[in-house]
Amino acid sequence: MLSSYYYQLLVIASINVIMALSLNLVTGCAGQLSLGHAAFMGIGAYTAGILTAAYDLPFAVALVAGGAVAALFGLLVGIPTLRLKGDYLAIATLGFGEIIRVAILNMKITGGPFGLRGISKHTNLTIAACAAVLVYWTMTRLMNSRFGRALVAIREDEVAAVAMGIDATRHKVLAFVIGAGWAGIAGGLFAHWFRYLHPSSFAFGTSVEILSMVVLGGMGSLEGSVLGAVVLTYAPEFLRGVSPFVSEHRMLFYGALLVVMMLVRPQGLVGEGTTGLRGSKLRKLKVFERFQIGKARHGLAATRKKSGNLKDSTDTCTVKEQVVDLAIGSGAGSKGAGVAGQVSGGGDEHAGA
């Protein structure tokens, strides 16, 4: 039987998994940096909490309503801001998060600076874990769909994706809406577990913590988001029990561990640096190039010994040109297009079909 301490840690870890997966859809899969994701969690938390505390609605209805309202705000914010890129998008989402926090802080229905009390406790480990599994399964199906492949194309090269006919703005806004909806559901679970809400729980620091989970696990990796959320949920509590000194300065050690992790493995715990099909093709072509350069140099050296008329040094540029011809196929009459045809999965044969 789990103690109440570990039981609560598991519940919080499940909620953090949902938050990390939802942000990973926007930042890791679509490549859009968002620094206001905690605001959507706050919207869902306060919506669900108010509906159950003030209007006595069923927990399931309040949870869905919290996700829907957060998704609506995601749509309203995503349409104007997702036309921005890079630092400008990050600043815009950061500003949105602060606007939501200040608005909650000054509204009477939310309890203002005193917070929202009187929320009934409906969340438990079973509900939180099932919600996390459902979000993970949905995310897996989503990324294996045409929509998910379009998001990856936008992340890798938005200009090329648009040239291929992908509506980049519509896909990014839809990813933002889905991520905001999941964050709202996580907020509803959060509200009905702690039974008390305060605007400081959804400040900028919370957004950074969620982003750290995604980056630590690996951008674009679903398993990485789950692992990053679990690790960063348990890390402060683990450091608490190491020694009295470490316990007193645990957040300092917590930050130092993150810095060391980013230096040792910047691609994350599960990430592989260059990911996906594009990375696999590049790796195969690089291995092929190294193999063919060595083979060509060996052949030229053997020919030099036989003829005695060649230069003593091998022309590396000539060797590389030969390798490129072998890789991409030279001339219209070349069969197959070399290894490039093999790496791309026999695209020429499928195109002929």
- Tens digits of per-residue pLDDT, 143-191? 999 999 999 999 999 999 999 999 999 999 999 999 999 999 999 999 9
Q: How far apart are alpha carbons 30 and 156 in whole angstroms?
A: 9
What one-letter code names the amino acid at 247? S
pLDDT band for position 300 (50/70/90)? low
Pseudo-torsion of CA 82, 87, 92, 97, nearest 10°?
A: 110
- pLDDT greater than 90 at residue 239: no
Contact 220, 213 (CB under 8 A): no
Average pLDDT over residues 216-239: 91
pLDDT band for position 293 (50/70/90)? low
The token duo for 229 is 């959320």
The region that residue 273 occupies, defined by phi over 0 for left and psi between -120 and 50 for alpha, beta otherwise, is left
Q: What is the pLDDT, as a whole number, of residue 49?
A: 96
Name the one residue in this structure whose structure tokens are 């040094």: 313
Q: How far apart are alpha carbons 316 and 351 in whole angstroms?
A: 35
Contact 135, 14 (CB under 8 A): no
- Tens digits of per-residue pLDDT, 66-101? 999 999 999 999 999 888 888 899 999 999 999 999
- pLDDT greater than 50 at residue 346: no
pLDDT band for position 324 (50/70/90)? very low
Pseudo-torsion of CA 231, 235, 237, 239, nearest 10°?
A: 160
Contact 31, 148 (CB under 8 A): no
Contact 34, 26 (CB under 8 A): yes
- pLDDT greater than 80 at residue 210: yes
Nearest CA-CA partner of 184 in 162, 202, 169:
202
Strand, helix or coil for residue 158: helix
Contact 200, 39 (CB under 8 A): no
Average pLDDT over residues 236-249: 82
Contact 122, 59 (CB under 8 A): yes
Task: Round to the nearest angstrom and report the end-to-end CA distance of the chain.
Answer: 60
Nearest CA-CA partner of 281 in 321, 218, 350, 339:
339
Domains of the chain: 9-264 (1.10.3470), 276-352 (no CATH)
Q: What is the pLDDT, as a whole number, of residue 273?
A: 47
Strand, helix or coil for residue 197: strand
Residue 167 main-chain phi, psi, to 5 deg = -80, 95
Residues 6 or more apart from 44 whose CB is under 8 A from it? 66, 67, 69, 70, 183, 184, 185, 186, 187, 188
Q: What is the pLDDT, as a whole number, of residue 115?
A: 94
Q: What is the pLDDT, as a whole number, of residue 40?
A: 97
Strand, helix or coil for residue 314: coil
- pLDDT greater than 80 at residue 318: no
